[in-house]
Homo-oligomer: A and B are copies of this chain.
Amino acid sequence: MSYVVTSEKEKKQMLEEIGISSIEELYKDIPKEVFLTEPLNLEEGKSEFEVLAEMRKIAQKNVIFDSTFRGAGSYRHLIPEVVKHLSSLSGFATSYTPYQAEISQGNLQSIFEYQSEICNLCDLEVSNSSIYDGASASCEALVMSLKRDKNKVLISKAIHPNYIDAIKAYAFARDIRIEEIDIEEGLTSLDNLKKKDLESVSSIIVQSPNFYGLIEDVESISTFSKDNKLECVEIVNPISLGMLKTPGEMGVELACGEAQPLGLDQGFGGPYLGFIAASNKYLRKIPGRIVGQTTDVNDKEAYVLTLQAREQHIRREKASSSICSNQALSALRCAIYMAAMGKQGIKEVAKRSFNNAHYAMEQITNIDGFSRKWKGEFFHEFVIDTKVDVDLINKALKENNIEGPYKLGKNEMLVCLTEALSKTEIDKFIDILRQVKK
């Protein structure tokens, strides 16, 4: 079927009104050479019942593991049902960008609340309404940080490799040179950083907790940046901010990252949500939509899209980014999640993930042949060196319907634990590791 509403009889009336006898006449401007005479080589249409059954079969080809110890940029956190329910309410789901503020206050207010929550979480002053995902948000933040006539950016090698890939793509586009900062004990090397030629450098980008789960000394890096008049961009896991020092506290004025941990389904990688939070000085440089508070003509408190002069539909080639459609519904959902977990809940999620990871680390490293690769403090992920082949470990885990750690190398794995794991699940995991070893 096709969701065409009009009946044949009505179509006739419409054609008459237009003054033609068939719809094809409307296509007269299309050159004959390209006008299709054969139907598309696709299957015939199906009823929704058949489609749903088919899609169900496809979905069943994916494995949903009972427990997972794999993170690496996409995390299984607990998502309250109320969050799913509220974010699918039809007004939110089926509206477009709130151009008509009078009939979009629900949407606008909820984005304003989202912006506020992100600012609060990061201790910063400005947030936009969303960017596609963490990687693209990092790229946009990089672009925000660029200084005139300085076309080099230093990036930590401990940033998520997929993000580095994206940064390299954006850098190629903008003719920016990327130089990587070495790592030392799994952390961005301050020594290496200090040795860099800063001549044409605009900014430094680090991630904390970094790809390996380690907490970076962002404070020193941001101080170094300030001292050398560089911009410092921190990519941060927002859940960690329930517990760890914030960008704002560390003097970072530009933070960004992936908000998936804040209540979004893992969904094979999307839709996720890139966030950017910054100090006031970036207000007119930040890309994407921003909602601001105002009043209507009757002085009723209300919300509108504001500062649109930054955006492509007004500035065109001079816009700060080309972003138009964004991740509004993801932002709404994260906002609902943040309110559902609330001030205390978000701390608990962070602390619980931290505790689980530390308990597991202790247990794993008690097993012969398993050791931590680096010793630094970490949040909820850590790297284990193992004498056993990681593939073997993961195979054994899979047989128990457990998704094993992220493989970094034949004998190196990135282990992740969130609050979604119970002690029983962790102990079972440890047990299997113990057995594989033998």
Interface residues of A (CB under 8 A from B): 47-49, 52, 78, 80-81, 89-90, 420
Contacts and interface: CB of A to CB of B under 8 A. Distances in A.
Contact of A78 (B49, B78, B90): B49
Nearest to A80: B48
Contact of A81 (B48, B80, B420): B48
Contact of A52 (B48, B52, B81, B89): B81
A78 B51 CA distance: 13
Chain B CB within 10 A, most for which of A47, A49, A89:
A49
7 contacts: A47-B78, A48-B80, A48-B81, A49-B78, A49-B420, A52-B81, A89-B90
Contacts of A48: 80-81
Closest 5 pairs between A and B when the two form their complex, measured CB to CB? A49-B78, A48-B81, A48-B80, A52-B81, A89-B90
A2 to B, nearest CB: 15
A228 B160 CA distance: 87
Contacts of A89: 90
A348 to B, nearest CB: 11
Contacts of A420: 49
Contacts of A78: 47, 49
Contacts of A52: 81
Nearest to A420: B49
Contacts of A80: 48
A134 to B, nearest CB: 25
A127 B49 CA distance: 31
A128 to B, nearest CB: 30
Contacts of A81: 48, 52
A61 to B, nearest CB: 16
A93 to B, nearest CB: 11
A338 to B, nearest CB: 17
A81 B48 CA distance: 8
Contacts of A49: 78, 420
A349 to B, nearest CB: 12
Nearest to A79: B49
Nearest to A78: B49
A401 to B, nearest CB: 13
A89 B48 CA distance: 21
A312 B74 CA distance: 57
A49 B345 CA distance: 14
Contacts of A90: 89
A49 B79 CA distance: 8
A421 to B, nearest CB: 11
A1 to B, nearest CB: 11
A232 to B, nearest CB: 38
A420 B89 CA distance: 30
A178 to B, nearest CB: 42
Nearest to A88: B85
A420 B80 CA distance: 34
A85 to B, nearest CB: 8
A48 B80 CA distance: 7
Nearest to A52: B81
A337 to B, nearest CB: 14
A4 to B, nearest CB: 15
Nearest to A86: B90
A420 B48 CA distance: 12
A293 to B, nearest CB: 27
Nearest to A53: B66
A394 to B, nearest CB: 23
Contacts of A47: 78
